[in-house]
């Protein structure tokens, strides 16, 4: 009966051990590489988050003050520059309660973003945009300050008269001016209602840069602190005395 012997080369067991060690080392290297990639991704996210939260170093009130200096259009652009800055801006409805309005979309944006905060509007009218003045008559209960700038051929005075004839419980500051080159010679006179003191009981500032026809029975404005209007030469003494009466002075 024959015998069979198995021949194992010298050092084969060490070779198998080395092969196993190499495989283990490769697995460990892959695990280490994966862990490193995860760590780098986490570091990048933390860095970006830390960079964004650097806004927190400056008080939120200061950021609100900075944004408040920007025109409305630039404040809207600022919303897309940073998530943290967007959160700061959207958290304060008062930041969106004022601005220049030259189209309906801007007025609707202010209405939506400001909640119930009193409004401070600067309406820019151009030829064909008088509908903005018509539209703001729906906000008379909220308007605290209104500045109207007339530009181009406009039927704005009629809308201004209708606005002033509304109840304006919060209105304190009313200004109306014309842009350079505006032909105010052919512009109808602004005619505030005689009972403006009742309609706008808090009115303090009136500055009208176009001709005004003051009613002879105009009631005094008790809280007025600044009153500037333009009177035509033909107005004469009666208009002047009427203006004096608005401040409670007698002839």
The per-residue pLDDT for range 60-94, each reduced to its tens digit, is 888 888 889 999 989 998 888 888 888 888 999 99
Tell whether 65 is covered by a domain.
Answer: yes
Together in a domain, 84 and 161: no
For residues 137 and 221, state if they share a domain. Answer: yes
Kindly state the DSSP code that residue 153 receives in the 8-state scheme: S
Question: Pick the residue with more confidence: 206 or 38?
Answer: 206
| 161 shares its domain with 206 | yes
Total count of residues recorded for the chain: 251
What is the largest distance, in Å, between two alpha-carbon atoms of the chain? 149
154 in a domain, yes or no?
Answer: yes
Residues 169, 78, single domain; the answer is: no
- Is residue 176 in a domain? yes
Answer with the one of 34, 65, 96 that is the final residue of a domain.
96
Considering the domain architecture, whether residues 122 and 185 belong to the same structural domain is answered as yes
* Position 147 in a domain: yes
Residue 218 token pair: 């105009």
The Cβ of residue 114 has, within 10 Å, a number of other Cβ atoms equal to 20
- φ and ψ at 243, to 5 degrees? -60, -40
For residue range 165-206, what is the model confidence (pLDDT) as tens digits? 889 999 999 988 876 555 555 566 677 888 888 889 999 988
In angstroms, how far is CA 106 from the centroid of its own chain? 9
pLDDT confidence of residue 121: 93
- Would you call 226 helix, strand, or coil by DSSP? strand
121 and 62 inside one domain: no
Same domain for 76 and 196? no
Q: What pLDDT is attached to residue 15? A: 47
pLDDT digits (tens, 9 = 90+) for 97-125: 999 988 888 999 999 999 899 999 998 87
Strand order in the sheet with 119-125: 98-101, 119-125, 143-150, 173-178, 205-211, 226-230
| Cα separation, 186 vs 205, whole angstroms | 26
Domain range for 107 is 98-246
Structural domain tally of the chain?
2
* Domain end marker among 96, 125, 148: 96
Q: How confident is the model at residue 142 (pLDDT cuts 50, 70, 90)?
A: very high
Q: Which residues contact 37 (CB under 8 A, 6 or more apart)?
A: none
Q: How confident is the model at residue 18 (pLDDT cuts 50, 70, 90)?
A: low
Q: Which two tokens stand for residue 221?
A: 């404005």
Q: What 3-state class would DSSP assign to 175?
A: strand
Do 82 and 198 lie in one domain? The reply is no
pLDDT for 51 beyond 80:
no
Strand residue runs (E) in the chain: 98-101, 119-125, 143-150, 173-178, 205-211, 226-230
- Which burial class, exposed, middle or buried, applies to 70 when counting CB atoms under 10 A from its CB (0-12, 13-18, 19+)? middle
């Amino acid at each position: 009966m024959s015998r069979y012997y198995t021949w194992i080369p010298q050092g084969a067991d060490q070779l198998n051990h080395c092969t196993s060690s190499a495989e283990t080392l490769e697995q460990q290297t892959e695990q280490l590489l994966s862990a490193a990639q995860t760590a780098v991704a986490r570091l990048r996210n933390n860095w970006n988050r830390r960079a964004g939260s650097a806004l927190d170093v400056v008080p939120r009130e200061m950021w609100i003050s900075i944004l408040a200096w920007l025109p409305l259009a630039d404040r809207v652009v600022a919303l897309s520059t940073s998530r943290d800055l967007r959160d700061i801006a959207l958290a304060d409805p008062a930041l969106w309660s004022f601005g220049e309005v030259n189209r309906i979309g801007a007025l609707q944006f202010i209405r939506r973003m400001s909640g119930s905060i009193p409004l401070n509007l600067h309406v820019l009218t151009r030829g064909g945009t008088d509908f903005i003045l018509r539209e703001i008559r729906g906000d008379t209960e909220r308007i605290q300050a209104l500045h109207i700038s007339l530009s181009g051929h406009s039927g704005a005075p009629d809308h201004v008269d209708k606005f002033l004839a509304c109840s304006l419980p919060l209105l304190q500051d009313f200004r109306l001016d014309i842009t350079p080159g505006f032909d105010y010679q052919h512009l109808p006179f602004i005619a505030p209602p005689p009972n403006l003191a009742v309609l706008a009981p808090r009115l303090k500032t009136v500055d009208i840069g176009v001709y005004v026809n003051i009613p002879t029975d105009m009631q005094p404005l008790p809280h007025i602190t600044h009153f500037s209007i333009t009177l035509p030469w033909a107005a004469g003494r009666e208009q002047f005395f009427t203006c004096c009466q608005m401040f409670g002075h007698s002839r």
